[in-house]
């Protein structure tokens, strides 16, 4: 089953294909599609994971807030039948 990611970037609706073997996460996929460098994000994400002891809610909140600051919003996964 294929997946697509629907999201808003800088107030424009966009949609891309998603494959688990190409990207670490949904957020990595949309950043790659828009040409956003995530070096700083991955460094900070690692620090948050160490401090929060990999608490899922804390990690999710961090990712969503970081990408919101980059201009991404309404990130959803759409299944293709």
* Position 1 confidence tier, pLDDT thresholds 50, 70, 90: low
pLDDT digits (tens, 9 = 90+) for 12-38: 999 999 888 888 889 999 999 999 999
User: What Cα–Cα distance (Å) separates residue 79 from each residue in 15, 39, 58, 76?
Assistant: 12, 29, 26, 10
* Position 66 confidence tier, pLDDT thresholds 50, 70, 90: very high
Residue 57 reports pLDDT greater than 90: yes
* Residue 1: Cβ-neighbour burial (10 angstroms; 0-12, 13-18, 19+): exposed
Residue 44 reports pLDDT greater than 90: yes
Element at 74 (helix H, strand E): strand 72-79
d(CA 16, CA 48): 28
d(CA 16, CA 3): 9
Per the structure block, which two tokens stand in for 3? Answer: 């997946």
């Amino acid at each position: 089953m294929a997946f697509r990611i629907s999201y808003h970037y800088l107030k424009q609706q966009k949609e891309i294909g998603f494959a688990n073997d190409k990207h670490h996460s949904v957020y990595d996929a949309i950043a790659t599609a828009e040409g956003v460098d995530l070096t700083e994000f991955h460094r900070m994400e690692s620090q948050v994971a160490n401090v929060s002891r990999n608490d899922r809610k804390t990690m999710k909140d961090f990712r969503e807030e970081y990408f919101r600051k980059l201009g991404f919003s309404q990130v959803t996964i759409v299944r293709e039948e």
